[in-house]
Amino acid sequence: MSLCSMTDRQALIQPDRGQPATALHLVDKATLPDFLKGLNAGQRAALSAQKFEGGGYEHAIVPDGDAWFAVAGVANIDDLSSWCMAKLADVLPGGTYRRAGGEPGKALHGWITGQYRFDRYRKDAKDAEPRILLTKDVALIEPAIAEATAVLMVRDLVNTPAEDMGPLQLEAEARALAKRHHAEVHVVSGDALEHDYPMVHAVGRAAARSHAPRLIEMTWGDARHPRVAIVGKGVCFDSGGLDIKPSSGMALMKKDMGGAAHALALAGLIMTMGLKVRLHVLVPAVENAISGNAFRPGDILRSRAGLSVEITNTDAEGRLVLGDALTRATEMKPELVIDFATLTGAARVALGPDLPAMFARQCPTATQLLEAGRQLDDPCWQLPLHEGYREYLKSDVADLQNSPANGFAGASVAALFLDRFVGEGIDWVHFDTFAWRPVGKPGRPKGGDALGLRAAWGLLKARYG
C-alpha cells in the first residue's frame, strides 16, 4: 500500500465522535509507575513478559477482559513529536484507535506517514488493513493530511526508477497536479529550450528522445497576491556525464530529481491549503546522460542570464540547470524564491543524511526557517554564503566556472554559484537536501523522503497563511 490516493490518507485520521476504538495509552519513564498501579496483576505480568519499560518507540499489547489495549513509550507525554505514534501505525493490527487521556496532536503526521509502503514493483504486495486514528482536534485533520500528502508525494516520485520517472513523467506529474488545482502549466522543450534555457538544454541533450530535456513552469493563484517562486532540480538520472560517476556513486541517482519532487509537493501543499500567494513553480527536467553529443569538460556554456560558464566538471550539472531556472524565476520579480536540490556531496559530508543544508540571503528568513523546522520536526542547518569563497568560481576564460578543483566548502561554493543567477534584493533560500533515508526510522522508512519541505511550508504558512 503506497497510500497514493487522497482517499486513503483521509481514511487514516477521522473525527472522534465516540465510536468504538481500541485505546492507546502513552507513557514516559516518569509516568510509567503510576500507570502500572492502575493495572491488575495479569496486565502488569503481560507488560513484563513483553519487556516493556516505557522507552521511546516501545509498545506492548495488554489484555482487558475480552478485549485489549496498547501501551506505548514516548520521551515526554506532554510534548509529542511528529513521530511518537508512528511505529504504532506500522505494527498494530488494522482497526480504529484513540489515544487515552489526550489527543495525538503533532503525532497525526507520523500516524499517516508510518503506514507508507512503496510496493509498485512488488508482485507479492498486499494491501494492509488501515490503522485509523481518532481525534477531537478536528481542526488539525486537514493540515495533517495535506502535509503528509506532500511528504508521500516526494517519497513516491523519488522512489520511482528513472526509466519510469524521466523528464516526460515529471511533466505528467506537474500537469496532473495543476489539473487538480486549476493551475496553468507551460513547458519549453526542443529548439525553444536551446535558445531560452541553454544550460538546461546542454545538460540534457545527450539523453534519449524519450527522456528529452524540458523546463516545466506552473503558475497558480491571484496575481494580486505576493509572488513566491519554488524551483526544484529535476535531474532524473545523473550518470555524471563524461566525468562519469563510479557505479557506487550512480546507484542512487534516480533520486537526483529529489529537488523537483520537493518543489512539486510543496506546490501541491500550498494550493491545497489555499495560501494567498501568486505561485510560480519551475522545474528544469533533464537526464545527465552520455553520448556523442554530451556536453564536455572545457566547454563554455552561455546561460539565460547572459553569463558564460566554463565547464570544469560535467558532474556538477545540477547548478547549471538551476541557474537558468532561477534566472527565469527572478525575472518575474518575486518577493521570495525557494529552491530545492540534491546538489552536493559536500553537504552530506558536513551534515549527514538527516539535515538538509539551508542557505539564505536574509537573516530573518533563515531564523524563521530554523524555527519552523524545529516546530515541525523537520530540522535544517544553516551554512554560510561566505563572500570570501566567491573567488573560487573565477574562470580564466569565462564569467565563472561551475566546479572549482580545490574541494573546499563545496556546498557553500555551489550555493554561491546559484546566487549569481538570482536577482539582487530578492529574498532567496536554497536547500541542499539529500531526499533519501539510508536507514529507516518510525514514520520514515528507508528510501526517498522529504527533508526541508515541512520547514519551508512552516515559513510560508507563517508569512502568507
Q: Please report, for residues 9, 202, 243, 244, the alpha-carbon distance to residue 290 in angstroms, rounded to integers and kept in the order given.
A: 41, 12, 9, 8
- 294 contacts: CB under 8 Å, gap ≥ 6: 205, 206, 241, 242, 314
Q: Which of 175, 245, 302, 437 is catalytic?
A: 245
Please say whether the beta carbons of 234 and 257 come within 8 A.
yes
Q: Which residue has the cell 521511546?
A: 56
Q: Which of 319, 348, 420, 454 is catalytic?
A: 319
Q: Is 87 assigned a catalytic role?
A: no
How far is 455 from 88, CA to CA, in rounded Å?
A: 25
How far is 199 from 284, CA to CA, in rounded Å?
A: 10
How far is 410 from 383, CA to CA, in rounded Å?
A: 11
Angle subtended at Cα 112 by Cα 164 and Cα 127, rounded to the nearest 5 degrees? 60
Q: Is 319 assigned a catalytic role?
A: yes
Helix axes 258-272, 141-159, angle to 10 degrees: 160
Q: Please report, for residues 36, 40, 425, the alpha-carbon distance to residue 30 in angstroms, rounded to integers and kept in the order given.
A: 11, 20, 51
Strand-by-strand arrangement of the 13-15 sheet: 13-15, 131-135, 95-99, 22-27, 67-73, 59-64
How far is 366 from 459, CA to CA, in rounded Å?
A: 9
Please say whether the beta carbons of 392 and 346 come within 8 A.
no
By annotation, the residues acting in catalysis are: 245, 319
